[in-house]
A and B are shown apart, each in its own frame.
Chain A
Amino acid sequence: MTESSEAKIWHEIASPFCGIASDDLTIKVEGNTVTVEENGDAVTKKGFETPITDLQPRINGEQVSLEQAVNHAAELLTQSKQPVIGGLATDVNGLRAAMALADKSRATVDSMDSDSAFRNILVLQDTGWMVTTLTEVRNRVDLLVVVGSDIEVDYPRFFERMVWNKESMFDQDIASRQVVYLGKAPSGDASTSPAGKKAQVLTCDDADLPEVVSVLRALVNGKQIQAEQVGGIAVADLAKLAEQLKQAAYSVITWASGSMTFDHAETSIQVLCEMIKELNAETRSNGLPLGGKDGSTSVYNVSSWQSGFPMRTSFNRGFPDYDPYLSDSKKMLANGEVDVLVWVSSFNVSRTPPESTTPTVVIGRSGMTFNQEPEVFIPVGVPGIDHAGRTFRGDSSVAVPLRKLRDSGLPSTFDVLSAIELAMPN
């Protein structure tokens, strides 16, 4: 986070756009133009380099002052019987303000990545899990199993930083690390070792993954399997993987719940998590749920500490009412249950609200365009570019500081949501 005088070069900058929140980026800032100079990838470049367009809020497409837009949003919420504060892609302070506003306006809170997040949260709430974090993986993993996910698309630097790093603190021979894909095959070569060793790939259709992981768990537990194939994978190959897991000193099983889009994927994640617990009777093994892009790990953390419950919590009755099914904002919108939607999206201009006839207030990153102009649009700055902030990494243990890199004059999500709260009558 050092700053050189004229060119404005920033070092050790963290990216809030991807769940591994790499914080070794070098960023150049000239006026409002931001360029990732070092350690960028497709996700972080888009995140940092998307230009600012609007500076002015709009009501029904007409430019207005920030105060007018805030008052209009407050009026909509005051009149609303069933508001939703959705999207929730922002930093911790933005989320704090969103929770305070939801409490006051009796809204339901939900995140744009809830479908993905709940595949994990439902497991956490039902049976729990044993999991690890990125630095542990970087130093300890000897067998990495990637389940149902092509992780390099959303986490381009995962292998570079956590698997094929130069050295381990514990003198491990990095080249001996093994990578196995179960389910989806990798789309690129990120998982291939520097020496050219390719990952082992056992592919099956998503639809067969529940059965495949159940058989793997049974094999880990020494059960006899009659079938020779499951989902197109030879049971002998799964038996070998089960043996590898038992022999490994520190295996890590990772999945990106965002790519596990089949029905009831949470039950497959649960089977994996129970298998990991069972492996720990003799050796060490851990899960690594990958997620957390655009601040989605921050959402359930802040929501949990402020209300006790993760998102999909309604304040309609004056107290937190958690229901991961009934308070799914997409379903609520589709069923016409929502009379005002406040959509918070301060990281990614392409993440706009779902189309609906519901009056909508967008607190969105400048540069956002709409097929359907929202009733209110308030362009805001990006946490980690236009204002300081904090975001949780996907593994949840680490919250990284985000720096203010330029002076665009755009308000923060916190500023706007707090102003709306203040503008509402008590």
Chain B
Amino acid sequence: MITKLTGGRIYDPAHGIDGEIHDIYVRDGRIVDAPVDGKINDEVDLRGKVVMAGAIDMHTHIGGGKINIARTMLPEDHAADVVARTELMRSGCGHAAPSTLTAGYRYAEMGYTAGFEPAILPINARQAHMEMGDTPIIDKGGYAMLGSDDYLLRMMAANNDQEAINNYVAWIINHTQAIGIKVVNPGGINAFKFNQRKLDLDEKNKYYNVSPREILMRLARAVKELGVPHPLHVHGCNLGVPGNLGTTLDTMEGIEGLPMHMTHIQFHSYGTEGDFKFSSGAAEIAESINRNKNITVDVGQILFGQTVTASGDTMRQFAGSPHAHPNKYVCMDIECDAGCGVVPFKYKDQSYVNALQWMIGLETFLMVDDPWRIFLTTDHPNGAPFTSYPHLIKLLMDKSFRNDTLSTLHPEAQKASHLATLDREYTLYDIAIMTRAGAAKLVGLADRGHLGVGGAADITVYTDNPDREKMFSKPDYVFKDGTMVVKDGDLINVTWGTTHVVKPEYDSSVEVELKKYFDRYHTQKMGNFKMSDDEIVDDGRGSLTVQPLHKGGKV
């Protein structure tokens, strides 16, 4: 069964293809060469259409404890966006913390074919994967969170060698079914349990005498040496604190050239200038990113309106809780593993701070030169729900729309930003890099994010509309593993995507100490902590895809 997609204008940055017209052939879910005998079974006419690989959201909170707390605690938000059952789709709800089913449908309807949960607490991995297992159509995966877990901090306090840490990191990735490692407020979630209220880059956790800088070095090296393609994913110190710019620069410069991904950089790019003692640090941050080729970032753009912030950063979420809107929040210490904080929030365009946050995010997008090293996120749902991506794409691609919006925001904030002077407009090729080719490369997905022969047939087809928001809201077609799942913006098929993981090797002797640790201190046995492959495959709907490690990964 070969399907020919005829005559589309192809944007496939992985192969350097920028708007060339050619045909694509699909067989058994994969992109294949044109059949030698010329025989095809089916043809879809894409003449005049824009064709890209399916989009990949490399940082979106779609599964796990904290987002489920957000769901449970926000019935009033869901009530405004309940979704009825159809012949094809289950009912559910949308907006800030959508139900898993609705999230999958809506991602697909926007042309997204994969999403990665960035903050899987190892102890909560089972729940995260169960929720993602109930998220249809898109592929998924996640990054296991380390850095405030007592096991790592004990190893560091005991001065264990890098080899031991690598083994532990590899063990965690395997048994939480992850594709990378994230660190959130390095050591800070742990320090909060000891009643520390801030932890700067070189400040020590008062029990372990270990600093965030040391944690970042250890974990970034482990990820590199294990050959895990996704660089250490870092939610830095001091999220949201005016003046955190200095720490962020120091974090990026201080990693000594190791690969590192700085997530939702917008929340870490604040100065203290001006009457409001809150200013944009985007120019310095972008300059540092441009200079340090080992660094990648996603923006964590904020957009105005009601949302909910859900983060592993208990320390900073508690500090932010007085700003909760509506006035309720959850903070949790979790299992000597990590923590979480869930704080509903409303970004207001007439707030100086919120308006400037919006500008800082866009400044960052426009001032980082290399679209392969910057990624389009709102840190769903922290900056805005993922359903606002088409709007964000329009802001990046359409300068006059951007400046018109800018002119309506808090006037003092407008004066504090030079966003209006930035002329750059993202091209379709740039967007395809950021949301497809670059994202696949960053996450370590060998067979996704491109349209070359052998790649998965995750393909999105748009009508080229000068209104980019309209264009990216409603693709003409979306193919997932070769199956047409969306036609004219509407879902026509519900499929179930795979879960992408990596499986770095480790020395099984690592379990000797781990077993003792679980037995002595935990309330769960090590054997029950470990998630088996069968749990992902589950009732037959899920599957695992093991992505290749980088060469030179040493174990």
Contacts and interface: CB of A to CB of B under 8 A. Distances in A.
* A is bound by B: yes
A383 B448 CA distance: 38
Contacts of A168: 521
A305 to B, nearest CB: 5
Q: Among A136, A162, A300, A315, which residue has the most Cβ atoms of chain B within 10 A?
A: A136
A72 interface: no
A135 B523 contact: yes
B401 interface: no
Interface in A93-138: 93, 96, 100, 103-104, 121, 124-136, 138
Nearest to B532: A401
A121 B335 contact: no
A319 interface: yes
A306 B126 contact: no
A136 B193 contact: yes
B309 to A, nearest CB: 13
Given A305-B68, A399-B130, A400-B524, A139 B336 contact: yes
B134 A305 contact: yes
A136 B85 contact: no
A401 B75 contact: no
Contacts of A22: 523
The 9 closest A-B pairs by CB, nearest first: A308-B93, A128-B328, A308-B78, A134-B523, A319-B84, A135-B335, A319-B82, A399-B126, A304-B72
Interface in B161-204: 192-195
B334 A127 contact: no
A175 B21 CA distance: 76
Contact of B126 (A132, A133, A401): A401
A305 B335 CA distance: 22
B523 A138 contact: yes
Contacts of B85: 103-104, 315, 318-319
Contacts of B228: none
A300 B72 contact: yes
A31 to B, nearest CB: 25
Contacts of B329: 128
A125 B99 contact: no
Given A136-B334, A318-B85, A128 B93 contact: no
A130 B331 contact: yes
Contacts of B327: 127
Contacts of A139: 150, 336, 521
A103 B91 contact: yes
Interface in B521-544: 521-525, 527-528, 532, 535, 538-539
Interface stretch (A75-83, A216-224, A261-269, A279-287): A279-287
A20 interface: yes
Contacts of B521: 135, 138-139, 167-169
A280 to B, nearest CB: 7
Contacts of A426: 87
B194 to A, nearest CB: 8
Nearest to A102: B91
B434 interface: no
A125 B73 contact: yes
Interface in B199-223: 207
A321 B69 CA distance: 18
B123 interface: yes
Contacts of B331: 130-131, 280
Contacts of A162: 523
Contacts of B520: 166-167, 169
Interface of B: 63, 65, 68-69, 71-75, 78-79, 82-85, 87, 90-93, 97-102, 121, 123-124, 126-127, 130-131, 134, 150, 154, 192-195, 207, 318, 321, 324, 327-337, 342, 520-525, 527-528, 532, 535, 538-539
Given A128-B73, A139-B521, A398-B335, A307 B99 contact: yes
A124 B330 contact: yes
Interface of B is mostly: mixed
Interface in A218-270: 249-250
A166 B524 CA distance: 16
A356 to B, nearest CB: 27
Given A125-B72, A133-B335, A397-B121, A308 B98 contact: yes
Q: Give the interface centre of A20, A135, A161 by most chain B CB atoms within 10 Å.
A: A135
Contacts of A92: 130
Given A1-B527, A125-B72, A96 B335 contact: no
Nearest to B86: A318
A12 B121 CA distance: 22
Looking at B75, B101, B328, B535, the one whose CB has the most chain A CB atoms below 10 A away is B75
B193 A140 contact: yes
Contacts of B131: 305
Contact of A133 (B87, B194, B334, B528): B334
B386 to A, nearest CB: 15
A100 B90 contact: yes
Contacts of A96: 134
A325 interface: no
Interface in A157-187: 161-162, 166-170
A315 B93 CA distance: 12
B99 A249 contact: no
A162 B318 CA distance: 25
Contacts of B101: 306
A307 B130 contact: no
A2 B323 CA distance: 50
Contacts of A133: 332-335
B338 to A, nearest CB: 9
Given A136-B333, A169-B520, A399-B127, 15 more contacts: A12-B525, A12-B527, A125-B75, A127-B328, A128-B342, A136-B193, A138-B521, A138-B523, A167-B521, A249-B195, A283-B195, A301-B68, A306-B100, A307-B91, A392-B127
Interface string A276-319: 01001001101000000000000011001111111000010111
A140 B328 CA distance: 26
A136 B339 CA distance: 10
8 contacts: A135-B335, A135-B337, A136-B336, A250-B193, A284-B192, A308-B97, A320-B99, A390-B130
Contacts of B525: 12, 23-24
Contact of A308 (B92, B336, B522): B92
B71 A308 contact: yes
Given A132-B333, A283-B195, A319-B84, A304 B528 contact: no
A401 B121 CA distance: 17
A396 interface: yes
A347 interface: no
A54 B500 CA distance: 43
Contacts of B523: 20, 22, 134-135, 138, 161-162, 398
A414 interface: yes
B147 to A, nearest CB: 17
A134 B134 CA distance: 27
A7 B324 CA distance: 57
A381 to B, nearest CB: 16
Nearest to A276: B331
